[in-house]
Amino acid sequence: MTGEEMHALVERLYPICRSITGDGVRRTLEIVGERLPLTVTEVPTGTEVLDWTVPKEWNIRDAYIKDATGRRVVDFRASNLHVVGYSVPVSGTYPLEELRPRLHTLPEQPALVPYRTSYYAETWGFCLSQDVLDGLADGPYEVLVDSTLEDGALTLAEHVVPGELADEVVISCHVCHPSLANDNLAGVAVAVALAGRIAAAGRPRHTYRFLFMPGTIGAITWLALNRDRLRRIAHGLTLACAGDPGPLTYKRSRRGDAPIDRAVTHVLRDRPHRVLDFSPYGYDERQFCSPGFDLPFGGLTRTPYAGYPEYHTSGDDPGFVTPDAMEDTLDALWQVTRVLEGDRTYLNLSPYGEPQLGRRGLYGSLGGRSDTRQGQLAMLWVLNLSDGEHSLLDVATRSGLPFALVEEAALALRDAGLLKEHA
């Protein structure tokens, strides 16, 4: 998928009203399923998952606030952000003063509509711009929330690209936000594109598992259902906010120095970026990194959680995300997978002194005229650190050389009989 194709997918998914449960999630996964075969799991309301319980399922058909002329001054059909997520059904007539406690605005951003939810406390409310609220008369207003909150299921989906190894690389993104293009849909689009690129490249070494599920409760549910196979997870990333104009930001895993942490920071070092230490706040890396699991999971975004003015507002629309930004995120992730796929630990079979590379035809085997010296340097670094303890990623990190060049040098040395792979 090109950046334009990823952006088109964001635009197609944007109008759907998603939440942590319901038909909006199912419709989103149906569209994703047009590009990737998905295994969809429905977990019934009331299922105990770790310390949580799968909630009732919420669906909504319509909602509005009408003035005395019958005009919809707040209209769910215009934007699904106008209703507080999980609002219970309501129908009645109210003066403005009685409505005010249920009306949510952003006074500091008066033209924008906020995104608000109330998943685990039964209530109702509306979101609107401060500009609209300031223009409302005293009422009365006709209010309708045509929704259902009843026993149903939580829906999550997986796509797997099988590899040579049972060891898994897990990429997780959330599908629970309504019309928010960056904080939700850009990550979904980039994940879809990455899965397609990995599959098109041929059978990978690792198995790649892509998770599309609601935030927090979705990850908790998946972890509860899959405890017996968590030991297979060698590397993991949560992916969100993947399309805004900001530089890439990586949040380290709880471990801080897991191979995924070193692989991502190595890839990002040659482009504008930020690296943050782990904190138990943000996206679902905090579930995978909870102390009982302590999985090697980092988080990749562009501008981080709550770090841009459009975050959780109507300003986070398809115009806010760009094809170029999504392509840049995709390219970085692709490079990370190339590091994870190519990383090996080798043993130098001629460790006493420097082996004679010239007579083996190795000095001129790497690079063109402009980077021959770098290729030779990569060989020397690989030979020196191939002691069965340092991986190629260690070599690239310590030497400052590109991982691809280090891997190429290692393969040339292996083919010349100077290295063997160390288990």
Rg (CA), the chain: 25
Is 82 annotated for ligand binding?
no
> Treating both helix axes as pointing N-terminal to C-terminal, what angle do 392-399 and 259-268 enclose, rounded to 10 degrees?
40
Give dist(CA 210, CA 193) in Å, integer: 11
Quick one: how far is CA 122 from the chain centroid? 29
Is 159 annotated for ligand binding?
no
- Following DSSP, what letter does each residue of 44-87 receive, concatenated? ETT-EETTEE---EEEEEEEEEE-TTS-EEEETTT-GGGB-BTP
**Residue 8: DSSP 8-state:** H
Q: Which of 209, 244, 310, 176 is closest to 7 using CA atoms?
A: 244
Instruction: For residue 148, list its beta bridge partners.
Output: 59
Give dist(CA 135, CA 112) in Å, integer: 15
CB 397 within 8 A of CB 381: no
CA 42 → CA 213, 365, 414, distances in Å?
A: 11, 54, 48
Is 235 annotated for ligand binding?
no
CB 392 within 8 A of CB 343: yes
Binding residues: 177, 183, 312
Binding residues for Zn(2+): 177, 183, 312
